[in-house]
């Protein structure tokens, strides 16, 4: 009995130490450890960069030659093709109602929106930037000329959110985002959170292209 007691005192503290507990919690909350959001954002940005105008908007788009006649008639234009982000609800994202906290949806939407905008806008956004620089330098507005040469970036202008049903802790789900339209001011991105076998939770955002302090028309960006 003494030997068993000694063995238990040796094993249990090493297994259930604070360090072990911290490692387990970190593994269950990888999405929420420091700098994980930045790493995820940068990863999806780099993976979706199109370095050539001939690159397909999405690698999963089948070439036209492989489509049947029926598929060709209903084929979605590449600019409207959805991007899918698959992840799960970490324990840190769970609120007191034991489901994904409403405030945590937006960190996933940042990743998903960055991925689809990067995939659709590059490398065309660089060409738009050159055209804008030319227009600004040769325009009559002297105040606008200071923006010539500045980099174009996409800024989030506003959001609308509609929650339909909860997502449970450690439950896997998909974030499907697609561009649904644009006008003179905005580019509209629709995103939906989907658990396998269920319909989307619902989310909509409006993004805006910006050249320094000079707004880029949504239709020109697209």
Residue 148 maps to a domain: yes
* pLDDT at residue 210 is higher than 60: no
Residue 42 maps to a domain: yes
Residue 28 maps to a domain: no
Interacting residues of 143 by C-beta distance below 8 A, sequence separation 6+? none
> Which domain does 79 fall in, by range?
34-221
Residue 107 maps to a domain: yes
Residue 27 maps to a domain: no
Q: What is the pLDDT of residue 38?
A: 93
Q: What is the pLDDT of residue 124?
A: 76
* pLDDT tens per residue across span 103-130: 999 999 999 999 998 888 887 777 777 7
Q: Taking CA 68 as the corner, what is the angle to CA 176 and CA 194, rounded to the nearest 5 degrees?
A: 15
Burial of 58 (0-12, 13-18, 19+ CB in 10 A): middle
Taking the C-alpha atoms of residue 152 and residue 147, their distance in angstroms, rounded to an integer, is 10
Model confidence at 154, pLDDT cuts 50, 70, 90, reads confident
- DSSP H helix total and E strand total for the chain: 7, 6
Residue 163 maps to a domain: yes
Number of domain units in the chain = 1
Residue 170 is part of a domain; what is its CATH number? Answer: 3.10.129.10
Top-confidence residue, 109 or 78: 109
Average pLDDT, the chain: 75
CB-side neighbour CA atoms (13 Å) of 151: 3
Residue 25 maps to a domain: no
Q: What is the pLDDT of residue 214?
A: 42
Pick the range with the lowest mean pLDDT from 12-26, 29-43, 59-73, 80-94.
59-73
* pLDDT at residue 64 is higher than 50: no
Residue 12 maps to a domain: no
């Amino acid at each position: 009995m003494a030997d068993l007691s000694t063995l238990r005192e040796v094993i249990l503290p090493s297994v259930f130490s604070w360090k072990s507990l911290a490692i387990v919690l970190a593994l269950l909350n990888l999405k929420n450890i420091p700098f994980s959001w930045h790493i995820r954002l940068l990863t999806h940005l780099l993976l979706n960069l199109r370095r050539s105008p001939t690159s397909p908007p999405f690698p999963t788009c089948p070439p036209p030659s492989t489509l049947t006649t029926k598929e060709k008639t209903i084929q979605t234009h590449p600019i409207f093709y959805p991007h899918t982000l698959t992840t799960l609800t970490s324990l840190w994202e769970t609120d007191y109602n034991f489901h994904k906290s409403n405030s945590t949806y937006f960190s996933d939407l940042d990743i998903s929106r960055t991925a689809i905008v990067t995939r659709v806008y590059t490398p065309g956004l660089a060409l738009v930037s050159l055209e804008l620089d030319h227009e600004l330098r040769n325009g009559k507005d002297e105040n606008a000329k200071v923006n010539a040469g500045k980099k174009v970036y996409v800024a989030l202008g506003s959001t609308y959110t509609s929650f339909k049903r909860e997502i449970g802790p450690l439950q896997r789900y998909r974030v499907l985002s697609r561009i649904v339209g644009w006008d003179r001011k905005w580019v509209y991105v629709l995103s939906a959170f989907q658990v396998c076998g269920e319909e989307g939770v619902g989310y909509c955002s409006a993004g805006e292209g910006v050249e320094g302090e000079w707004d880029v028309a949504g239709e020109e960006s697209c």
